[in-house]
Structure 1
Amino acid sequence: MDTRSKSFSLYGLLKFILVIIMIASVFVLHPAGSYLRDLGTAKRYSESDEFQERYNDLIHNITEYYVELKSEENIKSMEENLRKDKIRDHYGVLEESASTEGIVIDEPFVKEQVDSEIQNKFDRLYRIEQNLSNNVNFLYYIENFNTEEVYTNIEDNNPIEFLKNQTNYAYFDQYRADNKGYYNYNSNIMEMLKGTDYKVHTAVYKSLRMGDEFFVEGTEFNRNLSIYPKVRSIFIAAVITFILSLGILVRIIGRNSNGNIIPRKSMKIYNEIQIIIALFAIVILRSSVEFIFATGLGDIFTRDYRSEVLLASYMNVFLLLGLSFLRQLKNKSLLTNTISHNLFKVCFRTKFFIGILISFIIYVIANGIIVILMFASGNGIISLAAFLGFVAFNIYAFLYVQKTLSSLEKIMSITKEYAYGNYTEKYNEEDIVVPFRGFYEDIVRIKDGMKEAVNNAIKGERLKTELITNVSHDLKTPLTSIINYVDLLKREDLQGENTREYVSILEEKSNRLKQLIDDLLEASKASSGNLNVELQTLDLNELVQQSIGEYEEKLQEKNIEIRANAIIEDILIQADGKHMWRIAENLFTNVIKYTMPYTRVYIETDVEDGYGRIIMKNVSAQALDISPEELTQRFVRGEESRTTEGSGLGLSIAQSLTAIQGGKFSINIDGDLFKVTIEMPLSQSS
């Protein structure tokens, strides 16, 4: 057994290690693959995507700045043209034609739009100025061959030739784009140059100078390029590790340590729930990463790194999901371990559900045929007849569904009546629709069986009570004679110490037997309710004090101290005095027999929710390895050794006597602490 358990543990540990290795491989593969992909096509920084994107943005910036925006004064001069454009875009007509076509121009609205557009251009002007001021390596030369305007940041006598000798020289005008190693130019650049006389020449210093992002990214690129062989080796190792781990895991997953396929019953989570958990995990992962970057905790990572972490996490989630599906595929439970499969089984397990499904299909098909006849017949009479048939058929279906729901309501109602013991309710079977008729008949049969079982139980209880009564009477007659003769023997002048001792034992045991018979008879009557109850107003505190006085000597003999506490002085209850005294007698007898010597018994009286309460708490001399429900059963005692005399009927009698007076009886056990609570209805005069 130990060897098998150890083998199973090692086998499970192997699976766990393989999964961890595969997850780690994925986290290595994705960033390494992205790194190799970025460097694999770029042998130098000027060929990288980062360079192309930054270079393109700067060319777009200078073209927009010097060709379109130019200055604040130039932007302000655009106001009238912008106004005309907004009117044309919003109203679909030229400003000059608006009045002739009866269009009223909303001037405040147009002005608001124009002001917003001008402000956007101002913001754009300032951003481009800031962006250009932060660049050291970007070179440009812009000329207007018509006005001979020139904008440049080059100090050279032959600027165009100077630019051509640098890295990634590019040229643009309204007709063409020419470049030297620049591949990713933006078509918006030529769109801005359309209809102008501007020529744009740009380049980047061949030897990058310190002071801008070109230099930072170029330095980082060269550093990464130097470790390219190491990353490639790591990538290949991760691929081999992943494939080997996956191969081994595919081989052993879904099998136990003996190589046998794990039975279907071990698959406990439905596939739909697994998919939901996987999707939920993806949402949590994405939200967590977004939260980290949104709070600034992820500023040390690049956005690309965040994407790599997310994608690798997603791949691992789907890896675990795929392994689970593979395990089920091996033990042929992939399709059966689904909620939809189980619902399908439930729906087709009984004729009732099959009947409902068939009825629904017939209803849909019939309506479809009628609708087709209505619209596709081409004959007015047939269409009218189909329409009337459609109305009549759906009215019939509605009435049938209504009758079905009414039948279901009747079945639910009668089931509720049967649950509360009212077995006289019954419906005519003709009032129940055919699909529910078998269901209704089953419920009626269950009711008849329950009714017969109740009657048999009542009959059995009555016979048992009669038997106990008769047997008790038959036993008490000779027992009374024995007790009387023992009494006569005691009066004789008996010689010998042993003889007197024997007579004393006879007297003790005969009286004990008489008490047992009386208890058994009383318990039988109490449980069956065959006792007269004469309710009267009783003082609960006085009952407790009288009981304490009655049993004080016996309690002192057992070294048990009584602590009584009356929270309310006058607690008047509605109860039978004789039965309440018997309850108190049984409880105090129980305390004397089973309480640990040299401990205290706490008795408390109180009022709660219309009931007067007696609460008795004591520490048991023996461990109470028994439930409170068992203690109130007949002939059950709290101690298994039975070192004390008792019938095991005391608490059962007390509970029954409490119940026939309309009270409540409960027992609580906490370790060795025994607590009994009796609640009796308060008197109207209380």
Structure 2
Amino acid sequence: MDTKSKSKMIFVIWILLFTFGLSGIISGLFNGKDYIKKDYFQTQQFEDELNQFVDYLKMFELNNINKEELKKKITVTAEEIEEHRYRYGDLSTQVSNIKGQYEHKIQDALLAGNKEVADAYIAERDKKIEDITNNFKSDEHVRAKIVKEKEQKIDEYFREIENYRSDFMRYKALFTYYLKNTATGEVYTNVNISSGDSIDTFINNKNMIFIQSYPSSKYAYLSTGGQYRFVGDNDVVTPLIEKETSTFEGKIALPKAASSENPILADYYDFQQKQKIFFIYTISGILAFLLSFYLNKKTRVIQCIPTGKWQPYYNCIPIDVTVMALVFTGLLTLLLFIMDNTLSLHQNLYIYIRDTLFRLIVTTLFVALTLIQGKFLLERAKAPANLKADWQKALLHRAYQGIKEAFLIRSIGMQLFILLSVVFAFGVGAAIVLIEPIYIWIYIPLFIVICVPIFIIIIKRSGYFNRIVTNTDELVHGNFEQDIPVIGKSALAVLAANINALKHGIKVSQKEQAKSERLKTELITNVSHDLRTPLTSIITYTELLKTSDVTDEERDAYIEIIDRKSKRLKVLIDDLFEASKMASGNIELEKEKVDLVQLLQQALAEYNETIEESTLQFRITTPDTPVYAVVDGQKLWRVFDNLIGNILKYSLENTRVYISVKKANDKAVIAFKNITKYELSEDIDELFERFKRGDTSRHTEGSGLGLAIAKSIIDLHEGSLDIEVDGDLFKVTVSLNTK
């Protein structure tokens, strides 16, 4: 065997050893934490399975408490009675709130001549007042309400855990257990054991592959206390169950029998096989890597890569292409190593050996390709004087120059100069043909292929230019003709596009100016109406108070109306001032990390009684985990308050309201959807205008500033508040950054 063939053979052997060794080392790094000093029963996978079974066992057998027993153990403390009684304030506050909720409804019904509706509102109001009054008169009245609420929570708990019974039965068939209550001596087991028999006869190392004893060095006594991981916290059931906490001793085991039917045993045997493969592969890889290191030290294998003959050809390739090719093959090689050591251990032995050999050969080829490219590139970099010239020839440099020229602005004069140069050249060619007619066979084809198309282009460009000039003349005189077609990417096309944009800008400006004038007029009208209405009432009833024949009852009624209208006027002025302040941006935000789900729930709680009294059905959808954002909680609460208030004012009776919170990428999205009782304008932007209300008759109590204030607050948070109207469906979507 000659020296060249021997060098090639040495390189092939070395690259195989090096690749296999590196693969084994990476296998150890990736999978060592799962297979070193561990068996299957120490893995997190089995730990989760065991804990899941223990939780099911506690819930369905060990606790041994049924629904009716829990209901009998319900207690109501004096503190709970007081909390329920004063949940919405003292008696006078709650009665005043109820009267305030129904006062405008009754007045509107009477003004509309609907005495039956007014009487119904009065009866409904009096019933609620009576119920609130009884809360403050009788502890038993409150206690009955609290007991009913707690019974409902107990029913919910048992409905929820029943969903897991089928899972418990599956686990029960897999595990064997024998547990005894340390206090009562009661035994819970799925072993068919006779009295007098020892449980060690059934649960021992001979017929069980895994035994967990309670108590043991790892676990204390098995206790039924604590919350189940898969069941939500229930503030009624959890304390009742914890009062009945019991401790158990015994064993939970996994039988060796029926391995084909037991998925946990299948995982156990699969783990053992993977562990053996891991150790064999990793240790073999380390030995191969050490051998390759020794071989390279002895023979300098890298020097066996021939570069002299092929280096000139390699240097002709653009340098950026060679670098990208080296990076690509290097990354692909690394990916092959990772795939080889994260996926292959999940197959049976035959498939593992077959696929490992195949991937080893493929990976070896890419390792060799990467090393060869690196050697060539290193030799090329040894001549730094040539690197500048190499960069000038690089594709990236040429692409940069081409892009720079492509985006260079060229005037129409330059384009005409090029065209005229071509025409001049063909004129000279015509003179040459007259002198030497033999060249006519060259001139005519070139004239047809080049000169005729250029002539057509000149005619078209001239017509296009004249059309642009004509259109701009009309535009100067205020005549908005159709848009100039934008043809191609020439300077004339850019000019045409700019003229079209200017034309549309003028149209939009005129339309916006007309809209602004109209909205200004509407704003003045609405402000005048909304401020004049309560002010007129104040003046009228003040004049009536000045008369001498006013009775005490009438005086009190007039004073109450003046008070209510004054507060109404104050609310309107305050809202208008706040809206103006928001729009000007003259406000500072006190931002902090806030849970948007909790903030929304707080806003809904403020309207809890109003929601219950309404005919609307609220459907709230929130994630199980908090959705945090850095916001001004007080200002954002105002947004939620305004939106919920609008829903309660303007929603059609007996319809559903949908409110949802979700997190999408780095955004928190809060959506409010309801069916409106009033027909809305198709122009969505108008709804954000001040004093614009869905109730065009302006009979509702709103100021018409809620959406304007809400949008200003969201804009200050660099978020978005969007409105969609589809027929009677009204949707508001608030989007905020979570980072």
Normalised TM-score (structure 2): 0.30
Which entry has the higher C-alpha Rg, 1 or 2? Answer: 1
| Greater RCO, CA 8 A, separation 6+ | 2
TM-score normalised by the chain length of structure 1: 0.32
